[in-house]
Amino acid sequence: MIVLGAPALPLHSAGKYVAGAYLVFVALMLVYVAIMARRLTNAERELSQLRRDAAARASERDRSPEDERQREPVG
């Protein structure tokens, strides 16, 4: 509704300064969000690595008593 009723923006010589100020703000926020997204990706990668390590450790633990039993002399 606001946009429909809006007057034309007076983008004369002052327009570049206003656009510059708002773009600086948007650019700073985008850089910040990009850094945050990269950190989040790293954390996700670390989490999946941790899951793999934990699963490997668990299966190793499950296998070891069986191996010991097999190694015991029969008879």
Partner 1 sequence: MTTYGRGLRGLTLATITTNTLALALVFFYAPLDADQGFVQKIFYIHVPLAIVSLCGFIAGGLFAIGHLRSGDRRWDMRAYVAIHMALIFGIAALITGSIWAKASWGHWWVWSEPTLVSYLIVVLMYATYQPLRFSIEDPERQARYASVFAIVAGAFVPLNFIAVRLAQQYVHPRVLTLTGGHLPGSMRFTFLASLAGIALLFVTLWKYEMTAKDMRMQLRRARRQLLGDDAVRPLGRSAAPS
Query: Under the rule (CB under 8 A), what is the footprint of partner 1?
Result: 2-3, 5-7, 9-12, 14-15, 17-18, 20-22, 24-25, 28-29, 32, 36, 39-40, 43, 46-47, 50, 53-54, 57
Nearest CB to partner 1, comparing residues 20 and 74: 20
Please say whether the beta carbons of 60 and 68 come within 8 A: no
d(CA 12, CA 26): 22
Give the burial string for 51-64 (b: 16+ CB within 10 Å, else e). Answer: eeeeeeeeeeeeee
Would you say 9 or 74 has its CB closer to partner 1?
Answer: 9
Q: For residues 41 and 63, which CB has a smaller minimum distance to partner 1 in the complex?
A: 41
